[in-house]
Structure 1
Amino acid sequence: MPDSPSQHSRLTTVIAIAGACLLALVAGLMLSFPAPAPEDEAAGQPPAASPALDSEPDRPGPPPAAATPQAPGSPPAPDSAPSHREQLHRALDPGGHESGDELGVPDILSAWALDDLEGLALLLAEHDQPDQAIGLAEVLAYGIIDELPPELAARLLQTLEDGQAPAFVSARARQLAEEDPHAAAAWLNDPAVLARSTDAAEYVAARLAHHDPGAVLPWLLGLPAHDHRSNAWMSAFQQLARDDPSWAVAGAAELVGIQDLDAESANHALRGLAAAIAEADPDLALGLADAIHHLHTRFLADPDPVLLLEPPPPAPDP
């Protein structure tokens, strides 16, 4: 039996009510969960950075704190290396027993000269212990003078002349003689320089005689009159005879013929010859007797010619 109109309308009403309830249920479920924030919608992505921070360039961090300068005279920090001055002070400590070479003084001075040549020169120029200043100047072998500003070099030289010049001049003479004996000989032609050292001329004469025997006699004759000139004569003739003992007698005879030779220089020259031939061939000493006789007759420098054959202190090895 077909549905009546009233039954059909009731069915439609039930379906409508059921649909409305379903829509209400879905809406309630949706409202129970909060909506995601716009910037977090991308699943698994961190929040975007702030545009203001993103647009700024990288800025360096704060600079490291500057080291606090040390007050002059204050001890160094425990972890800092000692300065050249401190190393030198320790090496020259009067309480020590080793020599300066054993304690590395030359190395300290060399390193100091490379780092601060003017500071080292000023230390020498103002040193209040002359003995130490002499030693330092000698170790430096005069070489720093050529590298200093002229005013500072002059100041250093002037200071060292006050009782400290001999070792300084000796050191320079030795340095020059090793490099160029002729240059060293020319430097000592200055009477003021020659007078400032007791052994500079002696050392240079030996080097020149060894490297250029023909040049040493004219140089000796041209040396300015000074006590140190006699040492040069002795050293030169000793070196000549040491290099060639047979030359000793001829050299003594040549001395006799030199008109400008003073008695003291002749005496010292013969002493040098005697010392050298005594080392090499004592029999050659007899050949000097005639030259000694002529020289003593001419100069009357020594009442006893035998004294001339007493060997003097040995000349420095070339």
Structure 2
Amino acid sequence: MSSEMKTEKAQAAAWFRTLRDQIVAAFEGLEDSHADGPLSDQTPGRFEVSETTRTSDDGSDAGGGLMSVMRGGRVFEKVGVNVSEVYGTLGERAQNAMAARKGIPGMKDDPRFWASGISLVAHMQNPHAPAVHMNTRMFWTPHAWWFGGGSDLNPCIEYDEDTAHFHGQQKEHLDPHGERLYPELKAWADEYFYIPHRNRARGVGGIFMDDRNSGDWAQDFALTQDIGRAFLPAFVPLVEKRRVQNWSDADKEAQLVHRGLYAEYNLVYDRGTKFGLETGHDANAVLMSLPPLAKWI
């Protein structure tokens, strides 16, 4: 396999864009089909799409992507679906952080990198409908490549059957890659999406992986695709079920407080947030995951 992996990079970037298009269409479909229940008399929401750019340390172009954000919809209070393809040379601060975390050999001598992925966070109007996060990505340097990502559910009002459905879809899509994989990635998500200073998880879990390089690029890419394919069947039925429920002031209060946990995690611990800001990507795109409103008590 060529050290530059031009074909593989193109395939991965194209897949993330395809997945983005599918999700955007499905979410706008949820807005259109919301005919009963709270806010159903409002105008269906639509995504606003803008290009994002990344500038390298010397000021030259270093890639970018698409930021798609819907605000104030009938179903979604704020949802972002971003795709990006960025490249160049890691700055000194980011290079040190990456080397310390991943132990990448050779980065001091050749700090070139390429990365592409999709990142999604949805904050819902109805407190009974769960917030959700999903991302998948590929990272390359001249010395290594790997895949990462996953998805996790973040309800402020928990329903056991919703949690079971979400996890069941993850398992169904992962089992063809080996029955040991789902328990492994579920445990990884439980560890990763944990807020140490609150001594609690930020939601009800999901799946997560990082540094995925089995030595077989096609196999790992297929797994990454199935993680992405699991998202819509895992999440959309939950939204269809919960968007029609009425909510109380206490329900909304619980939602706003729970969003505070989400904001804390993303600003303090999330690797993607840190990497995006350290490498000069569009700050609005990086911070897209933050909720429109949150509350602390």
Give TM-score, length-normalised by structure 1: 0.22
Highest CA radius of gyration, 1 or 2? 1
More helix by percentage: 1
Q: Of the two structures, which has the highest relative contact order with CA contacts closer than 8 Å and spacing of 6 or more?
A: 2
